[in-house]
């Protein structure tokens, strides 16, 4: 089995990588940070011997780098079973106060990265009439909140992309799930002065993803909303 996870070296992506490695899946991971990728590869090859661990440095907000990453995958694998579009970036702010270019940055990173990579990977999924695409959205995909700004706009768009993809692929045997987590311990919350129990663990999101993936071919979880027990922050 072959699994792609974008932004897989930290937070939710890293937790999902561990979850699929435990299921015996080969992994392809990308990140913008070479050092993080080196550490990831060393850790996973030691912890999960026998699995193929592919890493690739790419900034998926840049279309040419998405294309380069896709070419790297095609050079190693003839098929893909799971694609997790997790790469993203959170820039807080209000629309009227944001710096020029923030919307473009958020759309490029949080939407176009998934759009372009999915289109490039579908030829490795369609021939087997199976597979699962997980789009990591957010509660910001369906509700606006203060200081959400362009991030929320991009996440609304990501959920729309995911819904369209679901309709297009249902007859092809490929499942599409939209995952909408609330506040989760990740790089975005680094240094936050909050008790550990106030935010969800990244492993909670990974468990939801793998549980949805394990369902029979006749069932698909279209959307999952996961929030901290004490509610949104």
pLDDT tens by residue, 56-100: 999 999 999 999 999 999 999 999 999 999 999 999 999 999 999
Give catalytic status of residue 151 as yes or no. Answer: yes
Q: 218: buried, middle or exposed (CB in 10 Å: 19+, 13-18, 0-12)?
A: exposed
The mean-pLDDT minimum among 23-37, 125-139, 193-207, 216-230 falls in 193-207
- Which residues have CB under 8 Å from 45's CB, separation 6+? 51, 53
Instruction: Determine the pLDDT at residue 195.
Output: 76
Angle, vertex CA 13, rays to CA 199 and CA 175, nearest 5: 105
- pLDDT surpasses 80 at 233: no
- pLDDT surpasses 80 at 113: yes
Instruction: Determine the pLDDT at residue 197.
Output: 78
pLDDT tens for each residue of 115-158: 999 999 999 999 999 999 999 999 999 998 888 999 999 999 99
Instruction: Determine the pLDDT at residue 184.
Output: 86
Average pLDDT over the chain, rounded to whole? Answer: 94
- Quote the percentage of the chain above a pLDDT of 70: 97
- pLDDT surpasses 70 at 187: no
Task: Return the CATH number of 2-226, one of 3.40.50.720, 3.40.50.150, 3.30.420.40, 3.30.1330.10.
Answer: 3.40.50.720
What average pLDDT does range 34-58 have in this prediction?
97
User: Which residue intervals of the chain are DSSP H helices?
Assistant: 11-22, 34-47, 63-76, 102-107, 113-121, 149-169, 202-213
Domain locations in the chain as residue ranges: 2-226
CA distance 221 to 233: 26
- Which residue carries 């990453």 as its tokens? 69
**What is the band of 188 on the pLDDT scale with cuts at 50, 70, 90?**
low
Q: Among the options 20, 48, 69, 151, which is catalytic?
A: 151
């Amino acid at each position: 089995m072959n699994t792609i996870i974008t932004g897989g070296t930290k937070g939710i992506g890293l937790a999902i990588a561990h979850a699929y490695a435990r299921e015996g899946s080969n992994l392809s991971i990308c990140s913008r940070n070479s050092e993080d990728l080196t550490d990831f590869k060393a850790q996973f090859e030691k912890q999960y011997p026998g699995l193929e661990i592919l890493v690739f440095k790419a900034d998926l907000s840049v279309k040419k780098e998405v294309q380069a990453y896709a070419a790297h995958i095609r050079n190693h694998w003839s098929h893909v079973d799971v694609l997790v579009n997790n790469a993203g970036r959170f820039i807080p702010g209000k629309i009227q106060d944001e710096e020029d270019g923030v919307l473009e940055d958020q759309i490029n990173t949080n939407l176009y990265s998934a759009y372009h990579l999915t289109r490039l990977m579908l030829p490795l999924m369609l021939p087997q009439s199976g597979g699962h695409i997980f789009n990591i959205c957010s509660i910001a995909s369906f509700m606006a909140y203060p200081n959400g700004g362009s991030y929320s706009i991009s996440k609304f768009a990501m959920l729309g992309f995911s819904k369209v993809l679901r309709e297009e692929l249902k007859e092809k045997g490929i499942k599409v799930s939209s995952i909408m987590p609330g506040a989760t311990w990740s790089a975005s919350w680094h240094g936050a002065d909050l008790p550990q129990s106030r935010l969800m663990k990244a492993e909670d999101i990974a468990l939801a993803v793998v549980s949805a993936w394990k369902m029979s071919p006749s069932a698909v979880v279209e959307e999952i909303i996961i929030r901290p027990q004490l509610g949104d922050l």
